Amino acid sequence: MSEQSDQERTEQPSEKRLREAREKGDIPRSRDLSGAVVVLAGVSALISGGERSLEHVRRIYGMGLGYGRDALFSDQLPGRVLSLAMHEAFALFAPVALATLLATLAAPVLLGGIHFSSQALQPKFERLDPLAGLGRIFALRGLVELAKSLVKLLLIGAVLLMVMKHWQAELMSTGRGDVGASMLKAMGLLGRAALLFGSILALIGGADALYQKFDHGKRLRMTKQELKDESKESEGNPELKGRIRQLQYQMARKRMMQELPKADVVIANPTHFAVALRYDEGRMGAPRVIAKGVDELAQQIRVVAGSHRIPLVEAPPLARALYATTQIDREIPAALYVAVAQVLAYVFQLKQAVVRGDEPPPAPQPDIDPDLMGPYKF
């Protein structure tokens, strides 16, 4: 990756990029942090054993030093001693092995979590290229890893030398006095040294974990163009989406106009709004809006209604309220039941008057709550 390319990658990685990287097994990991957790767990388990661990060590040494005459001439001695020694060794190191095993499984949770990726197990033959390998060694990340190794070596070596110098008198005293007390003291010194070693690894691992997280985020950064391309890929081309919406609108409008001849009444104001209602008492709980429109579409609804001799009732407030509150193919709200019932009763009376040749009844003008008109109240 060139320096210019790094400078262009100024945007934080998207969720999609992070998810793809995780699927490939590319998540932040710190070997130093994992190693520190394992060492601290093992040392803690060993130290917590205390006298019990020392007793196992004594028994193992005792098996090699305490034999009777009959045992020495027995051909079963090696097998029996080996079996007992292995049993004592297992009892000594089993807690340590269990603690380190649990720490090995738990350590990844501290940074990137536990994740299995089948893609990470696939062979990558390009890694066998020696030139590419040299490039990775002398790349920035390779140099950083080399610097970290040198720092760990110098830091741990310096601290252990200081400890050895500070504990020199105690180390020398372990060769004098009672064997049991000397062994207990030596194991205590060894445990403290191992605990100090693990603590240093923990400090280094914590710093390395912060760096690995930063480096992982930096490697996955994106350019502004990559973000735009990914947005287009995931959300679709805006022009194509607009075209799809236009086609959907045209199809919905065509279906609406096809249903319009089934309307019982069209409620309109003089020019702007038109709403077609249908009511089937046996199949519907309330009148249903089967078509509606404003301006040009409202005029088309009026024309189609006229050609199919559908009654047209001009009630501007009710037309606006129906348009604002009810979607196509939905029943009207309860707040408009009375007003619509007045209109349907008028339509029924109008049809009866036409059949009998009477004068048409006066058109109703129902009262409508202005809040039901929404943005169309004025």
Q: Sketch the domain layout of the chain as residue ranges.
A: 27-113+122-219, 248-376
**Residue 274 bridge partners (DSSP):** 268, 293
Predicted TM-score (pTM) above 0.95:
no
At which residue do the structure tokens 């947005």 appear? 231
Residue 10 has φ and ψ, to the nearest 5°, of: -105, -10
pLDDT in the model for residue 129 = 55
β-pairing, 330-331 vs 288-294, is: antiparallel
CATH class assigned to 248-376: alpha beta
**Do 94 and 45 form a contact (C-beta atoms < 8 A)?**
no
Mention every residue, 6+ apart, whose C-beta is less than 8 A from residue 84. 59, 63
How far is the CA of 36 from the CAs of 94, 103, 202, 269, in angstroms? 20, 10, 5, 80
Going by C-alpha positions, the residue among 213, 211, 152, 209 that lies closest to residue 31 is 209
Going by C-alpha positions, the residue among 232, 236, 234 that lies closest to residue 15 is 234
pLDDT in the model for residue 20 = 76
Q: How far is it, in rounded angstroms, from Cα 294 to Cα 291?
A: 11
Please tell me whether residue 312 adopts helix, strand or coil conformation.
Answer: strand
How far is the CA of 28 from the CAs of 68, 152, 220, 261, 331, in angstroms? 60, 20, 11, 66, 56
Q: How far is it, in rounded angstroms, from Cα 36 to Cα 32?
A: 6
Q: How far is it, in rounded angstroms, from Cα 283 to Cα 260?
A: 18
Please tell me whether residue 367 adopts helix, strand or coil conformation.
Answer: coil
Per-residue pLDDT of the chain (378 residues; tens, 9 = 90+): 444 455 577 778 877 777 777 777 677 777 888 888 888 888 888 777 766 776 777 777 666 666 555 555 566 656 666 777 788 778 777 888 888 888 887 777 777 666 555 555 555 555 555 555 555 555 666 777 778 788 888 888 888 788 778 777 776 776 666 666 776 677 777 777 777 888 888 888 888 888 888 887 888 888 888 877 777 666 656 676 778 788 877 887 888 888 888 888 999 887 789 999 998 888 888 899 998 988 888 888 888 888 888 889 888 889 999 998 889 889 999 889 999 999 999 888 888 888 888 888 888 888 888 888 888 766
Q: How far is it, in rounded angstroms, from Cα 1 to Cα 219?
A: 10
Going by C-alpha positions, the residue among 19, 22, 217, 17 that lies closest to residue 118 is 22
**Do 203 and 28 form a contact (C-beta atoms < 8 A)?**
no
* Tokens matching residue 377: 């109240």
Please tell me whether residue 73 adopts helix, strand or coil conformation.
Answer: coil
Going by C-alpha positions, the residue among 301, 142, 116 that lies closest to residue 215 is 142
**Residue 313 bridge partners (DSSP):** 267
HEC string of 99-131? HHHHHHHHHHHHCCCCCCCCHHHCCCHHHHCHH
